[in-house]
Amino acid sequence: MLEIKNLHVKLEEEDKQILKGVDLTVEAGKVHAIMGPNGSGKSTLSYVLSGREGYEVTDGEATLLGEDILDMDPEERAAAGLFLAFQYPVEIPGVGNMTFLRTAVNAQRKARGEEEMSSTEFLKVIRERAKELKIDADMLKRPVNVGFSGGEKKRNEILQMAMLEPKMCILDETDSGLDVDAMKLVADGVNALRSEGRGFLVITHYQRLLDHIVPDVVHIMSDGRIVKTGGPELALEVEKNGYTDIVEEVA
Amino acid sequence: MALPQAKQTETEARLAMLDLPAGGWTEAARRDALARVQAMGLPGRRDEYWKFTNPATLTQAEAPRAAVFDTQETQIFEAIDRLKIVFVDGVFDAEASDDLSLEGISIERLAESKADIHWAKDLYGTLETNGQTPVQRPLAALNTAFATDGILLHVTGTPSKPINLMYYHEDESSDAILHHVIKVDPGAEVTILENGPAAARFNEVMEVDVADTARFHHVRAQGRDHERRAATHIFARLGTESAFKSFTLTANGVMTRNECIIELTGDDAIAHVAGACVGDGDFHHDDTVFITHDAVNCESRQVFKKVLRNGATGVFQGKILVKAGAQKTDGYQISQSLLLDGDSQFLAKPELEIYADDVACSHGSTSGAIDEEALFYLRSRGVPHSDATNLLTLAFLAEAVEEIEDETLSAQVVEKISAWLLRRSA
């Protein structure tokens, strides 16, 4: 599904290397988690994959279903099936949540040469999915993320994911700022979307999210590299001993 | 005091092109207005009130040519049941207009109203004259003196549909001067729609007297002809518990100066003035607003949004004057521009002048570019760059468009803005 080889990335503005050779393959149907201390490059990896400006790939490659995504515009990556759930979802005053979602769904369909979703069908689908995430009609009408609580914003991200039905989902610190109940709701939403044809890359600082979204593979990232890979037990090890031991062990 | 020589020469050159209509109930007002124009002189670049907008093409003797912009698209208010009054290059077109009778309103043409006595006599030129202090508006006085036609509306009830003044432009060098007088009786309510470029150069004055508890709504879409020029003035006087709401959409036009002068003279009155403009390239758009609070517990709102690209210029001069005794005034003013590139500019001069001590007045003015974070967020969801920009641009203008009370009308405005944006991102 997603293949990253020897990815080197530096900040455009300053001459600072953030990713120093990341190798990672996420297979369809699998959930991979990336854990790591602050500043290890986890979020940078998600931004580079989704096409945010300000980063320069100096070496390596990233492909989605065999297609090189690094030269694509963000909207092309989205249409190709990539989705990033933001750590800090952006507020967009003046643009209704529903309008935004319908525009996005149909833009992707158009880009893929598929038929656009009619407004009746769209309404039916969004109501169903919103209900599962406990998102009420008012939240759908309001401007995108404006006045939403932290939990509402994250649920809204998962709703977008559910509507856009991406092939590869990257969740960037989706647990940050959530209480236990909200985290459970979000995790349920994600688990409902787990399927054979879909890959997940869950980026998190803490193990607790992985109690709810149980990963198949766990990677530890440090100083711009994946330094250790294992099963779900690796996350428990981090929880118990912290990152220092693991990072020192491989160094 | 004598006028500076250059100003006097320019004023005389312009006046020499015009004929003062004689006779009838307007004659005294026209003579008075002419004398005032001669005393004031037409605006010049050095006048403080024209600091940001060069009035030369609005005052020069002959109208600069303006190519007729031929579009096959439907008119903005086409889908709305309304009474149409059509002017082509400032000349009334009876055939294209509807029958001028409608319950709750009397409609007459200025050019045909020749009697010596008329209800509009107390208003014609009166509100305009009042609006000349503390700031002179010579183009409005010129209009009062030389207007060739216009509409006299006396609203006595609540007409079943809006009155739509439609202004066509067919002659490349037309120079139209229209003067409307609208009197809304106590308890009456009317909606006036205006659309179209009107002429190569258009000088318009609208005097609106809104009586106690009366309501006046105004939605205007100025024509899209790229080379057209317009200087418009609205003078409104508001009685107790009355409401005045005006919105203007401007897309294109090489030169536009819209002045709105409102006097709140009765307690508990409401005045809302809003504008959305989108300019691309050779575009200069000036909103100049002067709101005087002269009664207790009145509310005024000014909401102006401008989207500028390819070197377009936007100007906003807005003033709230709160007179002594106008307590409990609630005055709000916001002017914002979205600059889509580094070549465009927005010049703003917000002013508050307050002589009462128990008031709440606020003003704000900003200039900014498209929010890059929001743009990336939209794109990361699959919305193409140009569509995302358009969505954010529409969102920026929404606050002004939402000032239109009638949702059918605001939807028409949004549709026109969307179409404009879409044409530019194709």
pLDDT tens for B208-250 read 999 999 999 999 999 889 999 999 999 999 999 999 999 999 9
Q: Does some domain include residue A154?
A: yes
Burial (Cβ within 10 Å: 0-12, 13-18, ≥19) of residue B117: exposed
pLDDT at A243: 82
Same domain, A69 and A174: yes
Q: Does some domain include residue A201?
A: no
User: For A177-205, how does the pLDDT look when each residue is reduced to its tens digit (9 = 90+)?
Assistant: 888 888 888 899 899 999 999 999 999 98
Cβ-contact B176, B203 below 8 angstroms? yes
| Chain B touched by A113 (CB under 8 Å) | no
Same domain, A77 and A174: yes
pLDDT at B426 over 80: no
Same domain, A76 and A110: no
With CB atoms and an 8 Å threshold, state whether A75 touches B383.
yes
Closest CA–CA distance from residue A4 to any residue of chain B (Å): 19
Q: Does some domain include residue A109?
A: yes
Q: What is the CATH number of the domain that holds A241?
A: 3.40.50.300
With CB atoms and an 8 Å threshold, state whether B382 touches A52.
no
B33: pLDDT confidence band, cut at 50, 70 and 90?
very high
pLDDT at B52: 97
Closest CA–CA distance from residue A70 to any residue of chain B (Å): 13
What are the strands of the beta sheet with B189-196, ordered from one edge? B91-92, B83-88, B163-168, B189-196, B215-222, B243-251, B270-280, B299-309, B330-339, B360-368
Question: How many domains does chain A divide into?
Answer: 2
pLDDT at B72 over 80: no
A81 secondary structure, DSSP code: T
SS (H, E, C) B120-162: HHHCCCHHHHHCCCCCCCHHHHHHHHHCCECEEEEECCCCCCC
pLDDT at A137 over 90: no
Position with higher pLDDT, B1 vs A191: A191
pLDDT at B1 over 70: no
Q: Which domain holds residue A105?
A: 92-166
User: For A123-136, how does the pLDDT look when each residue is reduced to its tens digit (9 = 90+)?
Assistant: 999 999 898 888 88
What is the interface pTM, i.e. ipTM, of the complex? 0.95
Same domain, A152 and A174: no
pLDDT at B71: 74
pLDDT at B196 over 80: yes
Percent of chain A with pLDDT over 70: 99
Nearest CA in chain B to A102: B383
Q: Does some domain include residue A14?
A: yes
Same domain, A142 and A152: yes
User: For B80-131, how does the pLDDT look when each residue is reduced to its tens digit (9 = 90+)?
Assistant: 999 999 999 999 999 999 999 999 999 999 999 888 889 999 999 999 999 9
Q: Does some domain include residue A30?
A: yes
Burial (Cβ within 10 Å: 0-12, 13-18, ≥19) of residue A206: middle
What are the chain A neighbours of B379 within 8 Å (beta carbons)?
51, 73-75, 78
Q: Does some domain include residue A200?
A: no
Q: Does some domain include residue A205?
A: no
Q: Does some domain include residue A197?
A: no
Nearest to B384 among A53, A75, A84 (CB): A75
Nearest to A111 among B382, B394, B398 (CB): B382
pLDDT at A251: 60
pLDDT at B155: 98
A115 secondary structure, DSSP code: P
Nearest CA in chain A to B371: A92
Same domain, A126 and A178: no
User: For B317-360, how does the pLDDT look when each residue is reduced to its tens digit (9 = 90+)?
Assistant: 999 999 999 999 999 999 999 999 889 999 999 999 999 999 99
**How high is the mean pLDDT of chain B?**
96
Name the one residue in this structure whose structure tokens are 């207790």: B296
The first and second tokens of residue A141, run together, are: 């009408």
Query: B373 — phi, psi (to 5°)?
Result: -65, -45
What are the chain A neighbours of B385 within 8 Å (beta carbons)?
73, 75
Same domain, A172 and A160: no
